[in-house]
Structures are given as structure tokens and as C-alpha cells.
Amino acid sequence: MGSVRGRGDKSWEPICTRKADGPAQVYWQALLTGDRGVVAEILGDPQNNLGPNAVFDTSDLEEWKNYRFNFRRLRLWSLSYEQELTSPLHITASRGYADCLRLLLLRGAAVDFAPGGKTALHEACAAARTDCVRLLLGFGADPEAVSEDGYKPLHLCKSPDSIECVRQLLQHGARVNSQTEEEEDTALHVAARHGLADHVQLLLRYGAELEARNEEGQTPLNAACAQPHQPQDMDRYYRVCQLLVESGASINAADRDRQHPLHLACKNANAQVAELLLARGANVNVMNYSGNTALHNALQMTAYKLEHQPELVVRALLNYGAVRIWPGSLLKVLQYCHACPRVIEALVNSYDRVRVSEAWVEAVPAEIVQKYPRFYQSLFSLEQRPRSLQHLARCTLRTFLEGRLLLVLSQLHLPSALHRFLLLGFEDVLY
């Protein structure tokens, strides 16, 4: 039980779809289009020798390869060429043709047949075909079947639409904490990595292990923080991390590279997640295996994450007591981060003074200066003049409250403008 590696009877001869003609070609086309009437007619004709467990070889069929879903194709290797095998059950399950699927099952299709290294249940889950998943499980499909690549159906539920597939699998006995064989991911790792908050919530209700480690030493929280995502997906990943943290996930769990969730969230420039972790007590100055703190990670990725507003991450880290960059390295930071002047603003405003030289002017391309003239002119002018008294007062107070800044400010009923100023609110100019 649970494994589909053994392919059973090898006596069948795969039908090469490239060469198929007559009834075989009609059968193939009917399966692709979900034509239940034609499929029933084919199955009802004993002369064509085409049954519900027929095997098709699609190795050289380009349009079939293009139809594959979001998991690696599973193959059967022969001595002479590479076969990519499928069956009527797999075709109908992956395309959501529940009527055809039911017909095949009633006509004796082997529910756990796996000619290509995975079952029809794997296919249905990967394609988020809820009706087909429910039907296959109802006919006794094994929810713990292991594909040739070491995945169980639960591990292939990677899209928002697959939430009901997850529910069906769990209700039919799928083990919530089973791991993939190579990556050692649990379903919670998979859901967290894909930013699926509903999946995470459901898996946690079924007892998913918060601190399970995969092959890279990541917990599900690490996996969520590590996954690169687009700006429009930042809220989804924040919600996932919030669920994990509120359920008790360790905020300082380090993976094999000693990357903590905060390191990873800052590398992805997700300020919401970074602030969530910081508010829960994440160590702002812990170093990873490479000697980087979270602030180093944020600065290294600034140029590549401009749409994510990396300045919000940098400001949050500084307000939570991140050790500042050595002043002598500010020129290097300017060279790499000039396209995001607000990052430079936050950093420069965290010092009472900085030594601006002609090299600073040369470090910023002319087109960037033209794009942000007011800010860069104010930055370069610091070479000839000291910072304002207002700024010096801010630095003095921040230094005095170091390590307690946010705690103390929350208890002082300051005007909102002054509160923002003390927390390095952006003004797009230096004085």
C-alpha cells in the first residue's frame, strides 16, 4: 500500500499516440475532449481491444507535453528511448472530466494504476480537480500512494483551488505530516511555500507539525519566508506567516545555512512579514552562516526588489535596533542602492553625521539624479554643511532609547508628525 513504483503487469503494449489510427485514435481524441458517449461506445466494442486500462505513449506528442501541470513529468525509461505514459483514467482525471472518469471506473479501470509513475489521484490533485479527487477516493484510490518522484497526492495540492482536494484527502486518511522523499517537505511546507493561507489553516487543524524540518533544515515558517513572490502576493504570504506564528511556530528557527525567518523575509523585501517577526521578538542582529544580518540581506536585494518597497524593511530593522552599517561602507551601499533613495534616506538619518565626499556624487548615475533631483541634491550638499538641529535631536533621543525605542514611544502620546519623525518617516529630502 502507498507505493506506485511497481508497475504490475508489464505485458501491455503502450499505444503510441503519434501512430494511433482507427479506434485507438478515436478513443484518444474522445478522452482528450471528455466525450463520454464515444468513450462508452469504444469500451462497449470487444473487437477493438481497447479497455479502461489502455496505456498511451505520448513521448513525441508536443501538444501533450505542453499540457503538463506544475510538477515534474514522471517517465518510464527504456533501453532505447524515453517513454511518457498515461492512461484513460489519468487523462480524464487531470482534465476534470468526471463523467468519463466515473464511466471508466465502473468499467473496471484500476484506480491506482500508475503506468507513468503516478496515479490518477496524483494527476487530479495537481490539477485541482475536486470532483475527480472525490470520485477516485470514493472508488478506493489510495490517498497515500507514492509517485515515482516520491510525492503523495497531498504534496501536489499547490494551488488555491486545491483546498477541497486537501480536505478530501485528509478525510480519507492521508497523513498530514508525511514527507516527500527527496526534499522531505510536508504538506505544510508546500502550502506555506506557495502562500496558501486556507491550506495552512486546514492542515493545522488536522495536526500539521509546525517545526517539521525538510532536507534544507527549513520549518514551514522558513519555507514561507524564503519563497520569492511578487508585490501583489505579499499580503498572502503575510497571512500565512501570521497563521504559523500565532499557532506557535518558532520565529528564530534556523535552517542549515543558519538563515532565520527574518533573514529570509528581508531577502524577499516583505516588510509586513519582517515587522510581524520583529514584533514577536525575532533577533534583529543574529548572523547567518555567511555573516549577514537581516539588514545586510535587505540591502543586498534592494536593487532587485524596488517594487516591494525595500525601504520599509530597512526602516523597520533600524527602528528595532539593527546594528547600523559601518559608516565607511555607506558609499558602497549607495553604489548598489541608489535606485531606491528612501533606503539611503533611512540609513543616513540613522547617523548624527556622515562624511559625504565627491566619491558619493560619482557613485550615483546621472539618470538617477535626474529622477530624484531634490533628494540627491540634498544628500550631496551634506559635504559642505552639518545636519540640522532637529535631526541631531532625533539622533540623540534614538541613541538614548536604543533597544527600547518602540516600547517607549508607544507610551508617549506624541503628535503623529513627531512620532513619524522619530521613527525615520520618509521626507524624500535630507537636512
Looking at the structure, do residues 280 and 225 belong to the same domain, yes or no?
Answer: yes
Statement: residue 73 has pLDDT above 80: no
Looking at the structure, do residues 183 and 313 belong to the same domain, yes or no?
Answer: yes
Please name which of 9, 128, 20 lies closest in space to residue 64, comparing C-alpha atoms: 20
Over residues 349-358, mean pLDDT? 95
Among 323, 357, 375, residue at a domain's last position:
323
Statement: residue 61 has pLDDT above 80: no
CB 131 within 8 A of CB 102: no
Looking at the structure, do residues 8 and 147 belong to the same domain, yes or no?
Answer: yes
Instruction: Give residue 297's pLDDT band: very low, low, confident or very high (50, 70, 90).
Output: very high
Write the pLDDT tens digit of every residue in 405-414. Answer: 999 998 988 9
Q: How far apart are CA 167 and CA 174, in angstroms?
A: 10
Amino acid at 188: L
Report helix, strand or coil for 367.
Answer: helix
pLDDT for the residue numbered 83: 60
pLDDT for the residue numbered 2: 53
pLDDT for the residue numbered 11: 45
Looking at the structure, do residues 152 and 283 belong to the same domain, yes or no?
Answer: no
Over residues 156-170, mean pLDDT? 98
Over residues 305-313, mean pLDDT? 98
Statement: residue 192 has pLDDT above 80: yes
Write the pLDDT tens digit of every residue in 101-139. Answer: 999 999 999 999 999 899 999 999 999 999 999 999 999
Number of residues that this document lists for the chain: 431
Looking at the structure, do residues 185 and 82 belong to the same domain, yes or no?
Answer: no
User: Residue 217 carries which DSSP code?
Assistant: S
pLDDT for the residue numbered 347: 97
Over residues 397-424, mean pLDDT? 93
Looking at the structure, do residues 259 and 277 belong to the same domain, yes or no?
Answer: yes
Looking at the structure, do residues 246 and 362 belong to the same domain, yes or no?
Answer: no
